[in-house]
Amino acid sequence: MKKRLSLKLLIWRQKSNTTDGNFKEYIMKGLSPDLSILEVLDQLNEKLIINGDRPINYDHDCREGICGSCGFLVNGLAHGPKSATTICQLYLRHFKDNDTLVLEPWRVKAFKVIQDLSVNRSSLDRLIASGGYVSCQTEEIPDANKYLISPSKAFTSFQSATCIGCGACIASCRNASANLFVAAKLAHLGQLPQGKDGRSNRAKLMNKQMREEGFGSCSNNLDCEAVCPKEISADWISWMNNDYL
């Protein structure tokens, strides 16, 4: 039988972005090491609701590391201490009995706190929208040989397309730069024939929108690459800058 764990959770509680917040301590005992951090929060919320307290607000959806909905800081690290992992894939087996976990939201000016661990990341949607759209014929099945794409281009385009838009790269950057996020979105389209039209202008528009949203500049510290749950390379930032120039 697997050993059960006890944890001390210091969780940021904030009712809205117009109120002050603070850390509140919770003790959780008898936890299975197979539980994810989100499942621990689920159990804690059940207890809070039973006691008539306000449950903790946090974002989640697929819980399979695909959607990018979940995300917050665990002991100061985006998505926690395990690399290439989203918060919903972070399990208690990576921690020790009686560990203290500090959970707090992304600390980014452009991501206003909604409540507790949940932040407003609509600025990322506006970044994508600022790049315009790609026009594709949809009324009939396309000819498979209409666009000739090399295996290497298809592979690298897919690599950058794996970005799930969680915001971890921005939350970990000391300048709150969105360069890795924007670079990934530009690269997965810009490498394919369907995305060639407007490629250069798209880079200019999205870089302009980054500044308007209040994101900082890139200083090449590579914290973004280190915390990306999909391990997207910061080399794509150089690729984006070449397009922009």
Q: How confident is the model at residue 1 (pLDDT cuts 50, 70, 90)?
A: low
Kindly report the number of other CB atoms within 10 A of residue 42's CB atom.
Answer: 15
Q: What is the pLDDT of residues 167-191, one digit of tens each?
A: 999 999 999 999 999 999 999 888 8
Q: Which domains does the chain have, with CATH numbers?
A: 5-104 (3.10.20.30), 122-244 (1.10.1060.10)
Helix (H, G, I), strand (E, B) or coil at 223: helix
Q: Tell me the average pLDDT of the chain.
A: 93
The whole-angstrom separation of Cα 174 and Cα 167 is 13
Q: What is the pLDDT of residues 28-78, one digit of tens each?
A: 999 999 999 999 999 999 999 999 999 999 999 999 999 999 999 999 999
Predicted structure pTM score: 0.91
pLDDT at 162 over 80: yes
Q: What is the pLDDT of residues 114-153, one digit of tens each?
A: 999 999 999 999 999 998 876 666 677 777 777 788 899 8
Q: How confident is the model at residue 2 (pLDDT cuts 50, 70, 90)?
A: confident
Please tell me what DSSP assigns to residue 225.
Answer: H
Question: Which amino acid, one-letter code, is at 18?
Answer: T
SS3 sequence, 103-118? EECCCECCECEEECCE
**What local confidence, expressed as pLDDT, does residue 133 receive?**
76
Residue with tokens 């764990």: 5
Question: Which amino acid, one-letter code, is at 100?
Answer: T
The whole-angstrom separation of Cα 121 and Cα 38 is 19
**What local confidence, expressed as pLDDT, does residue 148 receive?**
82
